[in-house]
Amino acid sequence: IELDDGPARFEEIVESGGEGFNRWFHVVIMEGRQREVRRMWEAVGCQVSRLKRVRYGSVILESALKVGRWRFLKEKEIEELANVSGVKTERPKQRPKAKGKGYPSKGSKPGQSNKRSNTRQASRQSKPAPKNSPWKGKKSSGGRSR
């Protein structure tokens, strides 16, 4: 079938039921250009009222999976898709388990080291308060001490 964006064809067409104007077909295509199945049927004079994708490559799409929803691929599906596409799959390496209980040291916060940066302390100490600062010579009225 000649479409606006080039030739297209069904690899397989199997009648799946229905009668009259309400007939169902199971079709297989090898590529998936935008609205390709609908455009092929319309090119031969058929009106398409509903399309339902039931498989994507070797991945069978479960009917329980509603429109707009997703699921993780099964390990076997990943391997099959990788084989067909010629992509090598590498399993993520397991990190060695840390010795001990795995709790952070006492007083530490997640994402912070226990040691203060010498450059931060030095930069604070090297900048005296300006001469006309309202804070010069005043003691802290709360907050953390330095």
**In the prediction, which pLDDT does 7 show?**
95
What radius of gyration, in Å, describes the C-alpha atoms of the chain? Answer: 33
Residue 128 in tokens:
């005296």
What's 43's DSSP letter?
A: H
pTM for the predicted model, two decimal places = 0.53
Determine the Cα–Cα distance for residues 57 and 81; give it in Å rounded to an integer.
Answer: 7
Burial class (CB in 10 A: 0-12, 13-18, 19+), 143: exposed
**In the prediction, which pLDDT does 20 show?**
87
Determine the Cα–Cα distance for residues 29 and 128; give it in Å rounded to an integer.
Answer: 74
Q: Which residues of the chain have pLDDT under 50?
A: none
**In the prediction, which pLDDT does 43 show?**
95
Residue 95 in tokens:
């990190």
CA atoms within 13 A on the CB side of 137: 4
**In the prediction, which pLDDT does 48 show?**
93
A 10 A CB-CB count for 40 gives 19
Residue 17 in tokens:
């039921």
Residue 75 in tokens:
């390990």
Query: How far from each other are the two terminal CA atoms of the chain, in whole angstroms?
Result: 78
**In the prediction, which pLDDT does 39 show?**
96
Q: Strand pairing partners for 15?
A: 25
What's the angle, vertex CA 45, arms to CA 42 and CA 49, rounded to 5? 55
**In the prediction, which pLDDT does 100 show?**
59
